[in-house]
Chain A
Amino acid sequence: MNDAVVLITGARKGIGRYLAEHYVRRGAQVVGCSRSEPDWSLEHYTHFCVDVTHEADVRKMVTSIHKQFGRLDVLVNNAGIASMNHVLLTPAATAERIFATNVQGVFLLCREAAKVMQRRRYGRIVNVSTVAAPLHLEGEALYAASKSAVVTFTQILAREVAAYGITANVVAPTPIETDLIRAVPQEKIDAIINRLAVKRLGRFEDVANVIDFFVRPESDYITGQVITLGGVS
C-alpha cells in the first residue's frame, strides 16, 4: 500500500476509523470523511467534514484529493446509517435518510472517485453492505433494502468501470461492536449470531482482511463480488 491514496467514508469512528489507522500503518496516504470532525488525528491522514449525500461537497472533496495527491487508488464506502424499526412504525423521513446516505452517498462517491481513477486506468472500490440483507432480518427492512441496493449497484458499476482498470466489490459484515448495534437488545444480537456459521460477533480485523484482498493490485480479475462474513450465504 506504499504511497497509495485511500479514501474512506464514515472514518470518524468504528470500522471507518479502524480502516484509516490500518491503511496508514500499511504506508498509505489516507483521506477520510464524516459529517463531523474526529476527536483524533494521525500522520498521513487527512479529514474532510463532508456529508456524503451532498453532491457538491463530495465533488469538491474528490477534486481536492486529486489536486493534492494527483491520484486516488482506493475508495472504501463505509459510511452508513441504520434505523431498526418495524416497517409499520417507520416514518417516511427515516426511509429517505437511510437511502440518501446508504445508496445515493455510495453512488456519488463511486461516480466521482471513478472519474479520477479512470485517468490512471487503475482503481479499487469497496462498498460495505451487511448480513442483514441475506438474513432478511426483521426490523431492518429499510436498512437491509438499502444495502441490497448497494450490492446491485456495485455489481453493475463493476461492469461499467472494468474497462478503466477499476474493480468494485462488496464486503458484507456481520454485527460488530460499533455504535450501529449498541442500541440493539442482546437477545437480538444473539439470535443473529446463531444464524451465522461462525458463531461470534465480527471484528474490525475481519472486515479489513476482506478489503485488503479486494484492494490488492493482484486482485484486478476480481470484481462485482460480494464477500459475506460469518459464513452467511
Chain B
Amino acid sequence: MEITQQAVSRQQVVDIILAALHDVLEGVAAEATPALDENTRLIGRSAVLDSMGLVTLIVETEQRLEADYDIVVMLADDRAMSQTRSPFLSISALADYVMQLVVEQSV
C-alpha cells in the first residue's frame, strides 16, 4: 500500500491552499470572502482566519494534497512550529514550506 509521490508545482500548491482557504472562509464568515492571493496573511493581526480556522486550513490542505497529488505531509509538526519564519504566516510561506517538504520527500 505504498503511496507514490507525484510531482507538483508551486503554483498547484498555491491553488490548493487558496481553494482550501476559500472553502474554510465560506464556512465561517457571514460576510463576503475577502480577495485572496499569495500575500494573504494566515496568522497575526491582519490574518483572515482565527486559530480554529487555521487548524481547518492546515487539515484541508493536507487532505487535498493527498487526494489530488498523493502527497502525504504533516504540515504542523515540531519542525514547522520551531521555524524562525512561520510557515503559516501567509499563503506564500505555506506554499514554500509544502514545496520544501515535497522536495525532501523525493530525495
A interface vs B, CB < 8 Å? 59-60, 63-64, 66-67, 115-116, 118-119, 163-164
Contact = CB atoms under 8 A, between A and B. Distances in A.
A115 B63 contact: yes
Contact of B52 (A63, A66, A119, A163): A163
Interface string B26-57: 00000000000000000000000000100010
Contacts of A59: 72
Nearest to A59: B72
Tier of interface size on chain B = 10 to 19
A60 B3 contact: yes
A107 to B, nearest CB: 14
Contacts of A66: 67
A64 B62 contact: no
B62 A60 contact: no
A157 to B, nearest CB: 13
Given A66-B67, A115-B62, 12 more contacts: A60-B1, A60-B3, A63-B3, A63-B66, A64-B1, A67-B67, A115-B59, A115-B63, A116-B63, A119-B60, A119-B63, A164-B56
Contacts of B3: 60, 63
Contacts, number: 19
B34 to A, nearest CB: 21
Contacts of B52: 163
B66 A118 contact: no
A116 B63 CA distance: 8
A118 B60 CA distance: 9
A118 B1 contact: no
Nearest to B23: A119
B59 A118 contact: yes
A209 B62 CA distance: 36
Contacts of A118: 56, 59
Contacts of B66: 63
Nearest to B27: A121
Contacts of B56: 118, 164
Contacts of B63: 115-116, 119
B77 to A, nearest CB: 11
Contacts of B62: 115
Contacts of A115: 59, 62-63
A63 B56 CA distance: 18
A116 B56 CA distance: 11
A129 B41 CA distance: 42
